[in-house]
Structure formats: structure tokens, C-alpha cells
Chain A
Amino acid sequence: MTQCCGKIPTVEDVQAIKESIEKDGQKKRPKVSPQGNSFQGEIGEWVAAQVAVEQLNLRPEFYDPPRSSEKGIDLVYRDSQGKLVLIEAKNTEKSATAALGATKSYGKEGSIEWIEYHARLMCDPSSSRYSPDNAKIGEEILRVGAANVSYVIIHTNPSTLKTDTVKVR
């Protein structure tokens, strides 16, 4: 990002950008890579949703997840006691915790500050993450405190298709 460069584009540049957007629209799936990509992310979330319901006995909550290429809380569930469980789906050859990304100001994904930041985004009507359902969840996270909300990583290895669950909190 530090080397991000700005220029006045030519018509050809814009054509190339448009083509890449159209290609994305046609859902041409990229290859699976060890670093992960949005396609893998979608598979990871699909697997995580299954694991959450079938193995962890969690109940899904009304929640609008971020777009596949965006960062944020992937899935929101409730446990048998009605407590919120935030789920991070990972589909990568890296270990579950090594695959966690970071923000400039709020540390790694899953940290208390990171969850609070995303809860604030979900509550703020000006934010891209706002929706009435998300606002309810965001308010609940802020009310009970991010430290008191469970955060679980459901990790799938794309080569072996083995799934493991890491409870961060």
C-alpha cells in the first residue's frame, strides 16, 4: 500500500479495469492458493456454517456478513445458553491463528479491540457494515463487552479438507 501509485488513466486502462470487473461478475473461480483468496473464503464459510451447526450445536443468528473479499466477522451464532458466538472461517494451508489478518489501529482479527471496532461499525448507520440485524448484534456485543463474547476459528485445510476448531475466547 505504501507504494500505491496514482495516475491519470488512459481509455485502455479503464477497459482493462472494466474487463476485470466483468470477469469477476462471471464468477470465474481462481485456483486454490496457499495464501487464500475470496473463492476459498466462500468455501471456508460454507464449511464453517456446517461445522457450527452440526458439531458445535450452535444456532444461527440473523446477520448480514461482509462481502467475500472483505474483512469482518464472518458468521454469528448463539450457544445453548443464548450467548453470542462469533465465528471466523479460514480456508488456508496456514494454521488457524496464523491466517488472522490485522488492522492498523485495532490489532489482529479476533482481538477484543478488533471485535469492538467491528461492533461499532455494525451499529453506525454511516458504515458499510450497518444493517438493522447487524446493529442489534453490534449493540449486544458492546453491551456485554467484547471480552465476554466467544470467538471461534473454524479452519479448513484446502489440501487435506481436514477441519479443526480453535476457541480464541
Chain B
Amino acid sequence: MPTTEQLLKGVDLFEQHVKAYDEEFRKRNKLPKNFDYRPYRWCSRDIVFSLLVVKHNRKGNYLEVDVCLISKPPQYVENSGARVALGFLLSESYKCGGSMEIVFTPNVEGGRVPAYICDLAIEMGIKLNYVPKGHISPFEARQLYLELAGFSKEAKERIMKLALEGTISPERICFLIMGGIWTLPEAESMILGSQHPERLLQSTSEPDERHLYLNDLMVASATILGGVLDRKLLKTELFEGGQIVESEDEESPLSIDFDQAYFAKIYRSETDLIIPWIDENKILTSGQQMVVLVRARSDSEIQKYFPKDMSSLKKLIAKYQNDTQTMIFYLIPRDFEDVSLATQSQIIAQLKKVGVYLMISPDNMASLNKEAIRRLETGRRTRQ
């Protein structure tokens, strides 16, 4: 545990770094390079999770950490401060182009790996071998990064397979998640639901390679459609002064799995949740499961491929029929409204017959494609 003296010394050093940064960069309206010391503070609302000062050491090709102060806010899950700090250090290490090695200077708890980071490593079952020397080796850093991103066992296996084939590095996938380009459930959908996830995650297909690019765009749009539903379900609304307000930092306790055979998402909640975007009032009760077949289709595609989707839905029903509590949904974009009224009625009637609920997202294909292009372009600009 860091002593009070170490804590106060660390805050003083952090202040010195902030003043130096102000003088050298802010006042001169200059931006720092990766090899300049940069101070960061990580907060949620008014709670400080971590204070860090880092730079890329060019000579040693590692990330040098001069201040690493971590808190353990009791309002959050255990080791939340260490999660935030380590997530940043690993992402910064990747972004700077180093070997992923992290080195703590003697100013950090006397030159050892911070105790709270060790607690987190123990929680994740990862052994750190150079704690007294203040080093996290590239191998340990990769293990920590993959564990911190929180992938499922199946996704981790696929990632390791891709890494062994040399198509994509695990740290790049983790960086895309930590950087907010894709959420964890979205990345899992692509990794498990696509034949070539490495192409999507590295944004390698150029628009000129029309077929490859369109294929990637289709998978990315379906992934985003599923992601929109994730966010809608995760969002918690609180009542404050008689008004509904969205909570910035509270999410519904929801588990999200993925059925790779059907590109379907499986949701389980620990509390009752109102199911959005359907015609009737339905609640996903605590412990109940809902399976959503995600299909990002335009109006003409909906008409053309509905029989195929219907057959997938029937297989899904057969797969999950053992659990009578499971509800099945068919999620499509708002383009459904552009389908002729007669076809709409036919689709609704057929779904009702097999007990599937139609779920229409407020997004249309144009907006999903636009977002997919934006994300693929952002992915192209990150370190390969």
C-alpha cells in the first residue's frame, strides 16, 4: 500500500509536471510529442481515479511512468482506479509505438510496480515477475491488456488464432476497444461473426476493392446496429426533481453474449428492463433471456431476404426452445417503414405466427453505413 508520504510526494511531483507542461506547451500553444512528459488526470464526475505522468522513452523503446497515483473509490467495483490507470498506460504504450514494456521510475512507490496494479494483476490471475524492478514486460503487458479488455473465452481463442496466423496483433484489437472505436460486444460480434475480422479491425479494404469493402461495410453496419441496441438497453434513466435524467456513469447490469452461428445477440439482465423498439409493452425480467437476430437490411433487402431470415429465426427458436423463458426478436433498421404496407403486414403476421417480436431500430441503413464508414476510417488512422 503506498504510504501517505509517497502519496503527498507524488501529488507535489504531479503539480511540478503540470506547471512544466503549462510553461512549455500550453502557454506557447504547442502540442507535446510522445517523448515529452505529459500529465493526465482520470476522473468520473468529481471522483479522481488516477493521476499519471508518462512519456515514451525513445532509447529504451518503452513507456516511462514518472507519477502513478491510483485511488480505490469505495463507490465503484474493487480495483477500479487500477483498471483505469492500467488501461491508459497500456493504450498509451501501444499508441506511442513502443514494445509495450512499461517502466516505473523511482518516483513511483520507490521504483516498484504500484501495489494497486499488482492487486489487479492478482485479480486477473496474471503473475508479474519484475515488481521490485518496476517493470511490466511486453509479454505481461499483452496478457494484462487482453484480460482488461474483458473478452469472452471464445473471442480470446479466436484472437490468439489470428495472432498466431500473424494477421492481427491482440494489442491492436484491445486498443480499438479502449480507444472507443468499437465497444467490447461490437468487437466480439465482428471477431466471432465475421470470416475475416482482421480486415475490419485493421480497416485494410479500400473502397476501390469494391467487393471486399462492401462486405466489410455490411458486417460493420450489422455490428453497429447490434451496438445501438446494447447502448439502449444499458442506459439507465434516473428520476431527479420529477424529470428523467440519463445517468452518466451507471449502466444496467446486463450481460451480452453473441451467437456466432446466426449473428444473434443474447441478453440477460439482473434487473427488470423495458424492451425498446417493439409494438407492445414487454419487460425483460431479471434472469430472463432475450435472443435478437440482428439484420442490417435496406427496404429492398428486407423484402428479398425475409424468407432466409425467417428460416434463421426458426432455427434460433429450435435452438433456444428448451428455455421457455427466452424471447426471440428480429431486429432491423427503420427502412422497414419504406417496405409496402402489404408486405409489412405479411412479415408481421409471419413473425407473430412463430412467436417472434419485430424490433425496429430508430436508425436507418444510410445512418448505419455512414457510422460504419466513419469507424473504418478512424481504425485506418490508428497504429497498425
Contact = CB atoms under 8 A, between A and B. Distances in A.
Contacts of A127: 115, 118-119, 122
A41 B74 CA distance: 10
A120 B116 CA distance: 14
Interface in A1-60: 1-11, 13-14, 17-18, 20-21, 35, 37-38, 41
Contacts of A70: 72, 74
A136 to B, nearest CB: 18
Contacts of A35: 75
B301 interface: no
Interface in B350-374: none
A121 B14 contact: no
A101 B251 CA distance: 16
B266 interface: no
Contacts of B88: 6
Contacts of B128: 126
A21 B11 contact: yes
**Interface hub of A71, A105, A126 (most chain B Cβ within 10 A):** A126
B89 to A, nearest CB: 11
- The majority secondary structure among interface residues of chain B is mixed
Contacts, number: 119
A106 interface: yes
Interface string B34-53: 00001111111000110100
B21 interface: yes
A117 interface: yes
A83 interface: no
Contacts of B251: 2
A1 B122 contact: no
Interface residues of A, number: 39
A103 B111 CA distance: 28
Interface string B1-27: 110000110010011001101100010
Contacts of B93: none
Contacts of B42: 4-6
A37 B14 CA distance: 27
A21 B5 CA distance: 12
A104 B184 CA distance: 15
Contact of A129 (B1, B48, B75, B249): B1
A96 B14 CA distance: 40
- The majority secondary structure among interface residues of chain A is loop
Contacts of B77: 1, 101-104
A69 interface: yes
Given A1-B249, A10-B18, A127-B118, A17 B72 contact: no
Contact of B11 (A7, A18, A121): A18
A105 B80 CA distance: 12
**Interface hub of A4, A38, A70 (most chain B Cβ within 10 A):** A4
Contacts of B289: none
B178 to A, nearest CB: 11
B84 interface: yes
B123 interface: yes
A117 B122 CA distance: 8
B205 to A, nearest CB: 31
B239 interface: no
A103 B11 contact: no
A124 interface: yes
B79 A103 contact: yes
B200 to A, nearest CB: 23
A102 B77 CA distance: 6
B349 interface: no
A18 B14 CA distance: 10
Minimum-distance CB pairs A-B, first 6:
A128-B115, A126-B118, A128-B1, A126-B131, A3-B249, A4-B44
Given A4-B84, A104-B79, 13 more contacts: A3-B248, A5-B43, A9-B40, A17-B41, A18-B11, A21-B7, A41-B74, A70-B72, A102-B78, A124-B118, A127-B119, A127-B122, A129-B119
Interface of A: 1-11, 13-14, 17-18, 20-21, 35, 37-38, 41, 67, 69-71, 101-106, 117, 120-121, 124, 126-129
24 contacts: A1-B76, A1-B80, A1-B249, A2-B251, A4-B43, A7-B41, A8-B21, A8-B38, A8-B40, A11-B15, A11-B19, A14-B15, A14-B18, A17-B41, A17-B51, A38-B74, A41-B74, A103-B77, A104-B78, A106-B123, A126-B131, A127-B118, A128-B118, A129-B119
